[in-house]
Amino acid sequence: MFEQFAGLRKEAELFFRTLQDEITTTLEIVDGAGKFRQDLWERPGGGGGRTRIMAEGRVFDKAGVNWSAVHGDSPQNPDLKFFATGISLVLHPRSPKIPTIHANFRFLQNSSGDAWFGGGIDLTPYYLDEDDAHEFHLKLKVACDRHDIGYYPRFKKWCDEYFYIKHRGETRGIGGIFFDQLGGNERELDKIFLFVQEMGQTFLPAYVPIVEKHRGDSYSEEEERWQLLRHGRYVEFNLVYDKGTVFGLETNGRTESILMSLPTLARWEYDMQPKAGSPEAKLLDVLRNPREWATIT
Amino acid sequence: MFEQFAGLRKEAELFFRTLQDEITTTLEIVDGAGKFRQDLWERPGGGGGRTRIMAEGRVFDKAGVNWSAVHGDSPQNPDLKFFATGISLVLHPRSPKIPTIHANFRFLQNSSGDAWFGGGIDLTPYYLDEDDAHEFHLKLKVACDRHDIGYYPRFKKWCDEYFYIKHRGETRGIGGIFFDQLGGNERELDKIFLFVQEMGQTFLPAYVPIVEKHRGDSYSEEEERWQLLRHGRYVEFNLVYDKGTVFGLETNGRTESILMSLPTLARWEYDMQPKAGSPEAKLLDVLRNPREWATIT
């Protein structure tokens, strides 16, 4: 492996691995019934990972929390070697009143001297709770602001742009933060790593209160149907636009680990339009016109 | 519009439009309860289409039969004008014992003088009936052979290669025929158009007997679950690999008409493996190792 940033590489790998433990332990407590099943896997070209999946829990219908650290010849450029480590998670709750959440943090390095971090956290509600949206974004903003006052506005916008389903004219959810290829020299990388660690630690406090608030909410079959239709959009985004998914599938990544992000069930109905003024239409309006949620009013 | 092939263009447009009428009329009779809803639409850049959708019929859970004739500036090359007309259909039956079918035929022309036909018919069973597979392929072969003895072997192989889900190592179904960019001078195009017409007329006699044979078959919840898991693969193929879908979404095609090909419900379970020797495993074996079905034994 490359000599440069050897310490950072080890620290990032360990941080993401420990974060996976912390998150899966807490999520089992939150769920109260489901347990994570672990699959250890090795990558033929070098490295491997731990895929952890909870299926049919009490709160979570499907939850995947993956960690990996892989290296070898770059799939994009055979003249380069690469190293990549990260954590990626998607939680799909049973209840349409609890949002789906996705988070991902990663460190990449290649033999041409490039090294960078990428990642983000974003929320995908089926029914909009404005207080939740506000709290969620505010927590991300506060964590960002401690590192760089410019991060939140830049990464919030990046998130809205990244999770955009062009052929629907909608974002996937109400966003959060997204950043990619944040790199530089050793000092800059150390600063970014501190930020990434803080964002990793912000995941549970930003999401778990939303779960606790809505876990007792009742819901109807019609609301479940809407959840499945929105799951269809989630599938559309991930299979058509998500760079990690498309790149992973193209470069012979571990298919089952990559596609753990898909919900158990997704629905498509021809030309489905929610009634004007309905809670479903209210969500769509926010997906078509992303809002600023972290403003203090 | 271009002077060249003006007659062929009109004839192709009319043939595909009449074929849509014929197919939707027959499918309503076959279904016995469901009716097609028609949406007429116009393309802002020129032309338009007729989208016909049946939802929640007795036999068909979701059936889409689209016809369109569009023209204007080429979405790929602003220096070119194009014309395209075709019919595209996907039928998703309720019963896992009845296969999903897809067919598509199209004529394309551009202002640089290129003109060609493309299309095909392919079958996606959830449970393999070897007699059906044999009959289906044999009917396609007989229709192909009347036009060119080389067509069936070439287009059968092309179909297996095209409908391949690389990240799964499986074909989408048991294939059929697929061809693209079959063109040439006026005499050659006339010959190909005769072939395309015959294939269009072969769709109903190749598929309807399979529906009639299996419409009374009973099925279990476990078999429905397997159907939904295979629906997941159908979604994966269409959103990740299908050129028409990906191109349509990229070039601002009519999203609802393009995505009518998706089943109502699709399912994903982490690392789902059917039991060795089960009917589900038997299907997978054929998807992993495409067979020659049109051989006379």
Q: Is B102 a catalytic residue?
A: yes
Distances in whole angstroms, Cα of residue B88 to Cα of each of A32, A90, A232, A293: 48, 35, 22, 43
3-state secondary structure of A195: helix
H-type helices in chain B, by residue range?
6-31, 130-145, 151-162, 186-214, 221-236, 243-250, 255-258, 279-288
Catalytic residue set of A: 102
Give the residue, A107 or B77, on which the prediction is more confident: A107
Q: Which of A110, A106, A117 is nearest to A248 (CA)?
A: A106
pLDDT, average across residues A63-75: 94
**Residue B288 in tokens:** 């992993």
Do A255 and B166 lie within an 8 Å CB cutoff? Answer: no
The reported pLDDT for the residue numbered A251 is 84
The reported pLDDT for the residue numbered A2 is 86
Q: Are B255 and A273 in contact (CB under 8 A)?
A: no
Do A249 and B232 lie within an 8 Å CB cutoff? Answer: no
Do B255 and A168 lie within an 8 Å CB cutoff? Answer: yes
Q: Are B34 and B55 in contact (CB under 8 A)?
A: yes
The reported pLDDT for the residue numbered A252 is 85
Do A263 and B263 lie within an 8 Å CB cutoff? Answer: no
The minimal CB distance from B249 to the residues A167, A260, A264 is found for A167
CATH code for the domain of B280: 3.40.1500.10
B294 falls within a domain: no
Collect all residues of chain B within an 8 Å Cβ-Cβ radius of residue A239. Answer: 235-236, 239-240
Task: Tell me the shortest Cα–Cα distance from A145 to chain B, in angstroms.
Answer: 37
pLDDT band at A295 (very low <50, low <70, confident <90, very high): confident
The reported pLDDT for the residue numbered B251 is 84
A297 falls within a domain: no
Q: How many CA atoms lie within 13 A of A73 on its CB side?
A: 7
A64 Cβ under 8 Å from any chain B Cβ: yes
The chain-wide mean pLDDT, for chain A, equals 96
B238 falls within a domain: yes
The CA distance from B210 to A186, in Å, is: 66
A295 falls within a domain: no
The CA distance from A19 to A281, in Å, is: 37
pLDDT band at A297 (very low <50, low <70, confident <90, very high): low
Counting the structural domains of chain A, the total is 1
Strands in B18-75 per DSSP E: 37-42, 47-55, 60-73
Give the residue, A113 or A126, on which the prediction is more confident: A126
Which residue stretches of chain B have pLDDT < 50? none
Do B167 and A249 lie within an 8 Å CB cutoff? Answer: yes
Collect all residues of chain A within an 8 Å Cβ-Cβ radius of residue B167. Answer: 249, 252, 255, 258
A251 Cβ under 8 Å from any chain B Cβ: no
Collect all residues of chain B within an 8 Å Cβ-Cβ radius of residue A255. Answer: 167-168
Mutate which of A65, A268, A269, A273 to disrupt the B interface (most B C-beta within 10 Å)? Answer: A268
Give B208-249 pLDDT, tens digit per residue: 999 999 999 999 999 999 999 999 999 999 999 999 999 899
A262 falls within a domain: yes
Mutate which of A65, A235, A270 to disrupt the B interface (most B C-beta within 10 Å)? Answer: A270
Do B270 and A64 lie within an 8 Å CB cutoff? Answer: yes
Task: Tell me the shortest Cα–Cα distance from A141 to chain B, in angstroms.
Answer: 33
Task: Tell me the shortest Cα–Cα distance from B96 to chain A, in angstroms.
Answer: 17
B165 Cβ under 8 Å from any chain A Cβ: no
B18 falls within a domain: yes
Collect all residues of chain B within an 8 Å Cβ-Cβ radius of residue A231. Answer: none
Q: Which of A31, A36, A29 is nearest to A54 (CA)?
A: A36
Chain A: residue whose CA lies nearest to B245:
A240
The minimal CB distance from B269 to the residues A236, A264, A269 is found for A264
Mode of pairing for the β-strands spanning A164-165 and A170-171: antiparallel
B169 falls within a domain: yes
Collect all residues of chain A within an 8 Å Cβ-Cβ radius of residue B267. Answer: 264-266
DSSP β-bridge partners for residue B106: B86, B118
pLDDT, average across residues A17-37: 98
B246 Cβ under 8 Å from any chain A Cβ: yes
DSSP B73: E
Give A180-218 pLDDT, tens digit per residue: 999 999 999 999 999 999 999 999 999 999 999 999 999
Do B266 and A265 lie within an 8 Å CB cutoff? Answer: yes
B11, with CB counted inside 10 A (0-12, 13-18, 19+), is middle
The minimal CB distance from B256 to the residues A246, A262, A271 is found for A271
Q: Which of B102, B137, B214, B231 is catalytic?
A: B102
The CA distance from A135 to A59, in Å, is: 21
Task: Tell me the shortest Cα–Cα distance from A123 to chain B, in angstroms.
Answer: 21
| Residue span of the structural domain in which B188 resides | 6-288
The CA distance from A107 to B125, in Å, is: 43
The CA distance from B219 to B226, in Å, is: 11
Chain B: residue whose CA lies nearest to A228:
B265
A87 Cβ under 8 Å from any chain B Cβ: no
B34 Cβ under 8 Å from any chain A Cβ: no
B295 falls within a domain: no
